[in-house]
Amino acid sequence: MTAHPNGSDSHSAPTPSAEELRHRIEHTRDELGRTVEALAGKADIKAQTKEKAAAMKEQSMEKAALVTDQIRETAGQAVRLVQQKTPEPVLDTTGQVVTAAKANRTPLLALGAALVVVLLVRRGRGRK
């Protein structure tokens, strides 16, 4: 065994060829480029903020659509309930319409509340 000046044996790993060194350098450059891109992406707070805002906007629109559908369904159920419980209104001076409304106060209030919520949701969507 012959010892080299750097303290390694002559039988250790062979010296890489010029082509192997070029390949290693290219590979290292590629890895370094990917690392720099990843770090730049993490440092770009403005882009991250835009992405999060877009995601939140999309999520809120989906929730608003879901709530609107639920309100429409509830309002439809309230209308059907009122129609089932309320006889045909007779418009005379005895106040039968008022009596029917008082007798069905809860479904009518639910219908009114659902209508107000639908109008508020639509108004909110119009501002965006």
Residue 63 within any structural domain of the chain? yes
Residue 13 within any structural domain of the chain? no
Residue 6 within any structural domain of the chain? no
Q: What is the pTM of this model?
A: 0.38
pLDDT of residue 6: 52
The boundaries of the domain holding residue 61 are 18-126
Amino acid letter, 20: E
pLDDT of residue 10: 52
Domain count, the chain: 1
**Locus of tokens 């007779």:** 90
The angle that helices 105-126 and 96-103 make with each other, rounded to 10 degrees, is 80
Residue 57 within any structural domain of the chain? yes
pLDDT of residue 95: 57
Residue 85 within any structural domain of the chain? yes
Residue 5 within any structural domain of the chain? no
Rounded to whole angstroms, how far apart are CA atoms 27 and 39?
Answer: 19
Residue 27 within any structural domain of the chain? yes
Ranges of residues in the chain with a pLDDT under 70 are 1-12, 86-102, 126-128
Per the DSSP assignment, residues forming a β-bridge with 9 are: 3
- Residues 6 or more apart whose Cβ sits within 8 Å of residue 50: none
Kindly give the residue spans of alpha helices, DSSP state H, lying in the chain.
18-43, 45-85, 96-103, 105-126
Residue 70 within any structural domain of the chain? yes
